[in-house]
Amino acid sequence: MESDSVKVSVRVRPFNKREQGNNMTSVIATDTRKATVTMCNRNRKEMTGEGTKIFQFDHVFWSVETPDACGARPAAQADVFRTIGYPLVQHAFDGFNSCLFAYGQTGSGKTYTMMGADVKTLGGEGSGVTPRICLEIFARKASVEAEGHSRWSVELGYVEVYNERVSD
């Protein structure tokens, strides 16, 4: 899938407080090395056999505190940026348009992944993919302009669609 122009990634978040309070149990397992998510039938505990489905992605990020089924450590914001954001910046500097699209139901972790936790310092550990992309773009822009090769103009668009309303 490395040559595909569209990449699909999944980030598995931990249970939120409501889910923990309702004693929810996970029905998925991930293999971050193979970039797969396995979903079992809700009535079964094991991740094999009837009712089990395996989904393949370009990248799978396990962000739950306990290691995934293959022992992978939880993915930090920096890991997600390195895998998804950095290549987007590289493609842009190679002269291609780049787009990052986050999709999921309310509470699934899109804002956390894209913008980050409530951090005081831009570029801090909790910063999401979007602030890190911006920092990388402007650091590269400054470097290129300092070499005297060219001057750059940057255009960036950011929109959110929520409850059938678009805001930017």
Q: In this structure, what DSSP letter does residue 122 have?
A: T
Mean confidence (pLDDT) of the chain: 84
Indicate if the pLDDT at residue 3 is higher than 70.
no
The pLDDT tens digits for 143-156 are: 988 988 788 788 87
pLDDT computed for residue 48 by the predictor = 61
Task: Specify binding-site residues.
Answer: 104-111
Q: Where are the chain's structural domains?
A: 1-74, 76-168
What pTM was computed for the model? 0.83
pLDDT computed for residue 41 by the predictor = 65
Between vectors from CA 74 to CA 116 and to CA 113, what angle results, nearest 5°? Answer: 20
Task: Specify binding-site residues for ATP.
Answer: 104-111
Of 138, 161, 81, nearest in space to 115 by CA = 81
Q: Which of 59-63, 138-142, 160-164 has the lowest mean pLDDT?
A: 160-164
The pLDDT tens digits for 67-94 are: 766 677 889 999 999 999 999 999 988 8
The pair of three-digit structure tokens given for residue 13, joined into one six-digit string:
């978040």
pLDDT computed for residue 55 by the predictor = 94
The pair of three-digit structure tokens given for residue 2, joined into one six-digit string:
């490395």
- Which range of 9-18, 79-88, 97-106 scores highest in mean pLDDT? It is 79-88
Query: Residue 120 phi/psi, 5° resolution?
Result: -90, -25
What's the average model confidence in pLDDT over 134-143? 92
The pLDDT tens digits for 26-66 are: 888 888 889 999 887 665 556 566 678 899 999 999 988 87
